[in-house]
């Protein structure tokens, strides 16, 4: 495996673990309160802007993955779609790059 692929994989793991650590910490402190979590995502203009930026990035990444998979027929790359939607862009993008750069 190339050094670049290893870096992509490490970034995908980091992008899964680090954000989830913070979300789980919040859930531990506040309970499973989804309304409170969504309220925290729109607490002020700065956080709302960041949240909307991430939503737009998720949509763009999912569209890119679907467009490339339809052309390249690299079906295993589709694993990046649930990773992006359920975990986040920090995991989904490097995971997609890792899956996309595998030797054919």
Check residue 77 and give its pLDDT.
Answer: 94
Q: 6-9: long-range contacts (C-beta < 8 A, 24 or more apart)?
A: 8/94, 8/95, 8/97, 8/98, 8/101, 9/94, 9/95, 9/98
The pLDDT of residue 100 is above 80: yes
Q: Where are the domains of the chain?
A: 3-100
Q: Average pLDDT over the chain, rounded to whole?
A: 93
Over pLDDT 70: what percentage of the chain? 100
Model confidence at 81, pLDDT cuts 50, 70, 90, reads very high
Tens-digit pLDDT profile for residues 19-50: 999 989 988 999 888 898 889 888 999 999 99
């Amino acid at each position: 495996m190339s050094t670049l692929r290893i870096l992509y994989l490490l970034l995908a793991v980091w992008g899964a673990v680090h954000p989830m650590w913070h979300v789980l910490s919040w859930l531990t402190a506040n309970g499973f309160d989804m309304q409170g979590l969504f309220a925290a995502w729109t607490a002020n203009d700065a956080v709302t802007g960041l949240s909307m930026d991430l939503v737009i990035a998720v949509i763009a990444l999912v569209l890119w993955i679907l467009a490339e998979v339809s052309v390249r027929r690299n079906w295993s790359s589709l694993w990046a779609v649930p990773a992006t939607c359920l975990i986040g862009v920090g995991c989904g993008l490097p995971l997609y790059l890792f899956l996309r750069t595998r030797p054919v």
